Structure 1
Amino acid sequence: MKLASLVRVAALGSGLGAAAALSDAQAAKAGLSGYQGAWVLSGSNCAEIYSPASKGVSFKKPIDLFAPAFMVSGDRLRTPAASCRITSARPNGERQLLILNCANAVAANEVKVLMKIMPNGFLRRYYHEQDTAGIDYERCGR
């Protein structure tokens, strides 16, 4: 699962507990406005991973725990297997460093993620600070 390195703890269980989502203004202030929405690994099919829901989209049932996808809503990042609260988003050169507190069915962990919104609208995720290639994700439903 390519998303496993995005949220290592994500491959074990499904989202636990949900904190109240930030308003759009609060998300923008926290530097998260460009990340809002549902994302899939570039080249993946959104319709195979997500289904319409009353407030946007949700992971299609049965949930594929290994789907290379995640959703950001307010200060929450959810994968098919974990729920994370974004506790910090700060610049790291041309990238953003997101600090996540993630939980799944068996563990909770702090995870650091480097991302950048690309000019073409894709989101590029980097595995570490020395990673110059990264992997691209496409936003679904735009």
Structure 2
Amino acid sequence: MRIAGLVGATGLGLGIASTWVSGAIAQGGLAAYQGAWLSGGADCAEVYASAGKGTSFKRPVDIFAPAFIVSGSRLRTPQASCRIKSVRPSGDRQLLVLGCANAVAGNEVRVLMAPQPDGSLKRYFNAQDTMGTAYKQCSR
């Protein structure tokens, strides 16, 4: 019985730590990423709709839209929902490690991004990518 109590207390502690880490990520390393983002020439109103407290993808969802929404420690695309596990510096960029799931599978995804001086974001395909893909902010 003593082992079961220890295991239960450890599980509770890990759950609290996980919640604290998620909150710290959302408040610290993810502050510049919060909101709805869109790449390319599409207008924000074509992809997003206001939904009470925040923004959501307009119905029917365009699964090919180069768009994502960051809310707290969650990142959603038109096709997947991800939990942001960590944010780490990687040179002049940040490496976001995501745990993503869609209708078919779940996997870990690594994304290189960098906030830009004009308020936009750039996503890089790998460390050698010098151009990146620009995303404009549609809502905060």
What's the TM-score bracket when you normalise by the shorter of the two chains? 0.7 to 0.9
Q: What's the offset of the Cα at 1:27?
A: 1.2
Q: Does 1:117 align with 2:115?
A: yes
Q: What's the offset of the Cα at 1:55?
A: 1.3
Structure with the higher helix share, 1 or 2:
2
- Of the candidates 95, 100, 113, which is equivalent to residue 93 of structure 2? 95
Figure out how many residues of one structure are paired with residues of the other and give that number.
120
What is the distance in 1 between the residues matched to 2:139 and 2:70?
A: 13
What is the distance in 2 between the residues matched to 1:126 and 1:44?
A: 20
Matches within 5 A, 1:1-142: 27-29=26-28, 31-141=29-139
Task: Give the TM-score of the pair, scaled to structure 2.
Answer: 0.81
Task: Give the TM-score of the pair, scaled to structure 1.
Answer: 0.80
2:27 aligned partner, one-letter code: A
RMSD: 1.5
Q: Which residue of 1 aligns with 2:10?
A: none
**Rg larger for:** 2
What is the distance in 2 between the residues matched to 1:91 and 1:72?
A: 18
1:39 aligned partner, one-letter code: W
Q: Which residue of 2 aligns with 1:9?
A: none
Write out the 4+ residue segments of structure 1 that deviate beyond 3 Å after TM superposition. Answer: none
Q: Is the 8 A contact 2:37 2:139 kept in 1?
A: no
Change (3 A) 1:26 1:68: closer
What is the distance in 2 between the residues matched to 1:101 and 1:37?
A: 19
Q: What's the offset of the Cα at 1:28?
A: 2.2
Q: Give the unaligned 5+ runs of structure 2.
A: 1-18
| Percent of aligned pairs with the same amino acid | 61
Q: Give the unaligned 5+ runs of structure 1.
A: 1-19
Secondary structure at the counterpart of residue 36 of structure 2: strand
